[in-house]
Amino acid sequence: MSIIELQQLTKTYGSARGIKNLSFRVEEGEIFGFIGPNGAGKSTTIRTLLGLIYPTSGSAKIFGKDILLHGQEIKKEIGYLPSEVFYYDNMKVKDLLHYSASFYKKDCTKRMNELAALLELDVNKKIDDLSLGNKKKVGIVQGLLHEPRLIILDEPTSGLDPLMQQRFFELLLEENKKGSTILFSSHILSEVQRLCHRVAIIKEGELVSLEKMSTLKANNYKRFKLEASTAVEESSFAIEGVTELVIRDKEVSFMYKGNLNAILRVIASIEIANLWIEEPDLEEIFMHYYEKEA
């Protein structure tokens, strides 16, 4: 069963922001990456799923239940970590965590203490006095303490130091192993690359691409860089599949998608001094998606 299912989900605001006819599914047990630059509609999608804002048209289901009709029931099993952390004035960390736990009809104390210990969070401090990174930890603990079936993260790592980021990712992987599905929205691609099984790329509110991480990385694109012994004609690379061609003197670089034999024949016809063929990282693929259609 799909954990999340979007059908033609649309949310328009007065301005240009919003999402248009977004449809995709997140399957049980997945870590699903949701990427796009700021303002692409990631948060809009997530806020719609959580019932913070209402869709203009289309529908969405979580755990097979309609988000508008069964919001309360669905949220029992969702853990949400917003990009900006909230805090109530004058509350201690443990008061907030207990308050958060009080919404779920089960005892969360044990898990809460485990998480706080793991993230080295001092629960006796006032939230007002915490640094951004520590506030973020409060957000993580309150989002995970009820051991949710679906974890929704909206750009979760800002403010965490690299060590904590590492621990947080390990925590997510652990939760995932225990069976939680994770929707991970981010514009930091290396994070997504490390964690996610599948990735949806969203641009100006529309789905640009939805692929397995492995497909996205391995099959599609290769980055070529070569150094020729003599000057190179731009026309030699005018074959299908070559993009982002840059020729600087004897140095050539480009992205290639297609039959490798075809491009190797082109390269073979040139006297080359050096050659690199690399897997592009997600960042490059991502830029590629955006530049292509810009």
Partner 1 sequence: MNMYKHELSAYRKSLFGWISALVGISILMMSMFPTFSKDAGAFVALLSNMPDAVLAAMGIHMETITSVLGFYGYIFVYILLGGAIQAMLLGTTILSKEVRDKTADFLLTKPVTRQAIVSSKLLAALTSLAVTNIIYMAAACLITALVSESAFSLKLLILATLPLFFVQLIFFATGLLVSVIWPKMRTVLPVSLGVVFAFFLIGALGATTGDDKLRLLTPFKYFDTSYIVEHSSYESLYLFITIAWVILATALSYIIYMKRDVHAV
Q: How many residues bind partner 1 (CB under 8 A)?
A: 29
Nearer to partner 1, 101 or 213 (CB): 101
Per the DSSP assignment, residues forming a β-bridge with 57 are 10
Contacting residue, 87, 169, 289, 290, with partner 1 by CB under 8 A:
87
78 binds partner 1 (CB under 8 A): yes
DSSP assignment letter at 127:
G
From the CB of 231, what's the least distance to partner 1, in Å?
A: 53
Nearer to partner 1, 72 or 269 (CB): 72
76 binds partner 1 (CB under 8 A): yes
Grouping H, G, I as helix, E, B as strand and the rest as coil, residue 286 is helix
Please tell me the distance from the alpha carbon of residue 282 to that of residue 290, in angstroms, as a whole number.
Answer: 12
47 binds partner 1 (CB under 8 A): yes
84 binds partner 1 (CB under 8 A): yes
Nearer to partner 1, 104 or 289 (CB): 104
276 binds partner 1 (CB under 8 A): no
Q: Pseudo-torsion of CA 23, 28, 30, 35, nearest 10°? A: 20
Site for partner 1 in 90-149 (CB under 8 A): 99-100, 102-104, 142
Write the single-letter amino acid at 150.
Answer: L
Which H or E element spans position 62? Answer: strand 57-62
Contacting residue, 85, 153, 164, 192, with partner 1 by CB under 8 A:
85
Nearer to partner 1, 95 or 244 (CB): 95
Please tell me the distance from the alpha carbon of residue 175 to that of residue 213, in angstroms, as a whole number.
Answer: 20
Nearer to partner 1, 135 or 288 (CB): 135
190, two tokens = 């290396």
The owner of tokens 């309150």 is 142
Site stretch for partner 1 (CB under 8 A), options 70-78, 168-176, 201-209, 249-257? 70-78
43 binds partner 1 (CB under 8 A): yes
Write the single-letter amino acid at 242.
Answer: V
Select from 13, 21, 70 the least CA-distant residue to 205: 21
Please tell me the distance from the alpha carbon of residue 286 to that of residue 294, in angstroms, as a whole number.
Answer: 12
Taking CB under 8 A as the rule, which mask of x and - marks residues 219-238 in contact with partner 1? --------------------
44 conformational bin, left if phi > 0, alpha if psi -120 to 50, beta if neither: alpha
Binding site for partner 1 (CB under 8 A): 43, 47, 50-54, 71-76, 78, 80, 82-89, 99-100, 102-104, 142
